[in-house]
């Protein structure tokens, strides 16, 4: 796997919107976040475009991405927000260009599709972490999220997530015991499911599969996990890491809870499974590199992740 170079003070980073149109006010506020890291910000040419529910046409969003990848002055690419639209440009991305210009690529949610596509076709590490307008430009952003983000960007060092990572406020739950090492893959559950049957299908064989989502009721999560189960993605995984599932309450008069759905699908797997990680649509939000090797131990309730930068 290709490791991008870590950031240094004074570096220039790019912000683009490959999916939905960002809140421009929040996007402007995010500049102070990067300036606090002593980073310079450059927007994509089409960052303020709106094309229906997309941030510009497919051609405009693709152009911004290729421009940032090819620009040697841009040391990292941050995405403004998720929403929908990344999958529309995935078939037209120049993956060889990414291999020739490895740099930090950072985002989550709809960006999951891009993470999987780049890992599969460019063999490069990418980052699942907070985005510019939807996270970094909001007042609720907390110091713990900022600290862990800084470590991922500037330090080529191993990181560990335990129950003490956020002061013991967010307990981890063991669903299936064990200890395993493997490549860390995954992201947003609905995007992982949508990749099945495409050239960008998620590969879970012998890997640690991470999942998270937002706004999906338990029956919808059940449906998506069933799709992963029937396609062999769950049984092939070496371990399962369950992140945050925000706003997952049911509106039905009778329903399982999301925790009961997890128990149903994961308690009989022959691999370690642990839930409760503050990774996803949440604050605090722990950033992780995807494509690196990691170790999951339920005995220690710990996830140890290799560095995503060199």
- DSSP string of 136-187, one letter each residue: ITSTT--HHHHHHHHHHHH----EEE-TTTTTT-S--EEEE--EEEEEEEEE
Q: pLDDT digits over 245-273, tens only? A: 999 999 999 999 999 999 999 999 999 99
The span from the CA of 275 to the CA of 245, in Å, is 10
Each residue's pLDDT, cut to its tens digit, for the chain (310 residues) gives 999 999 999 999 999 999 999 999 999 999 999 999 999 999 999 999 999 999 999 999 999 999 999 999 999 999 999 999 999 999 999 999 999 999 999 999 999 999 999 999 999 999 999 999 999 988 888 889 999 999 999 999 999 999 999 988 999 999 999 999 999 999 999 999 999 999 999 999 999 999 999 999 999 999 999 999 999 999 999 999 999 999 999 999 999 999 999 999 999 999 999 999 999 999 999 999 999 999 999 999 999 999 999 9
Whether the CB-CB separation of 88 and 19 falls below 8 Å is answered with no
The domain 12-141 is placed in CATH, from the list 3.20.20.70, 3.10.20.90, 3.40.50.10740, 3.60.9.10, at 3.40.50.10740
At 208, list the tokens: 């640690």
The span from the CA of 119 to the CA of 1, in Å, is 8
pLDDT value for 167: 86
Report the CATH number of the 159-305 domain.
3.50.30.60
pLDDT value for 138: 85
Q: pLDDT digits over 148-175, tens only? A: 999 999 999 999 999 999 988 999 999 9
Just list the catalytic residues. 109, 212, 281
| Identical fold between 12-141 and 159-305 | no
DSSP 51: B
pLDDT value for 172: 97
Domain ranges for the chain: 12-141, 159-305
The span from the CA of 287 to the CA of 290, in Å, is 10
For residue 245, CA distances in Å to 201, 281, 300 come to: 22, 7, 23
For residue 60, CA distances in Å to 17, 77, 122, 269, 275 come to: 10, 16, 22, 44, 38
């Amino acid at each position: 796997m290709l490791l991008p170079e870590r950031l240094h003070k004074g570096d220039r980073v790019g912000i683009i919107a490959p999916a939905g149109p960002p809140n421009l006010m929040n996007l402007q506020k995010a500049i102070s976040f990067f300036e606090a890291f002593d980073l310079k910000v450059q927007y994509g040419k089409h960052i303020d475009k709106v094309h229906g529910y997309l941030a510009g046409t497919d051609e405009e969003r693709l152009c911004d991405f290729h421009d940032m990848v090819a620009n040697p002055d841009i040391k990292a690419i941050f995405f403004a927000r998720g929403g929908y639209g990344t999958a529309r440009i995935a078939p037209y991305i120049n993956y060889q260009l990414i291999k020739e210009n490895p740099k930090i690529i950072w985002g989550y949610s709809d960006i999951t599709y891009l993470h999987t596509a780049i890992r599969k076709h460019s063999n490069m590490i990418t980052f699942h972490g907070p985005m510019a307008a939807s996270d970094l430009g909001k007042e609720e952003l907390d110091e713990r999220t900022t600290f862990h983000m800084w470590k991922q960007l500037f330090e080529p060092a191993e990181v560990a997530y335990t129950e003490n990572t956020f002061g013991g406020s967010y307990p981890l739950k063991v669903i299936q015991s064990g200890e395993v090492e493997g490549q860390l893959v995954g992201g947003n559950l609905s995007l992982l499911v949508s990749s099945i049957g495409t050239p960008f299908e998620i590969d879970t064989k012998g890997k640690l599969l991470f999942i998270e989502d937002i706004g999906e009721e338990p029956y919808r999560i059940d449906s998506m996990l069933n799709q992963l189960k029937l396609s062999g993605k769950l049984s092939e995984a070496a371990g399962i890491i369950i992140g945050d599932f925000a706003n997952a309450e049911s509106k039905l008069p009778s329903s399982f809870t999301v925790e009961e759905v997890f128990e149903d699908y994961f308690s009989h797997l022959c691999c370690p499974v642990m839930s409760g990680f503050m990774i996803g649509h949440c604050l605090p939000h722990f950033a992780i590199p995807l494509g690196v090797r990691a170790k999951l131990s339920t005995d220690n309730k710990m996830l140890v992740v290799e560095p995503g930068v060199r």
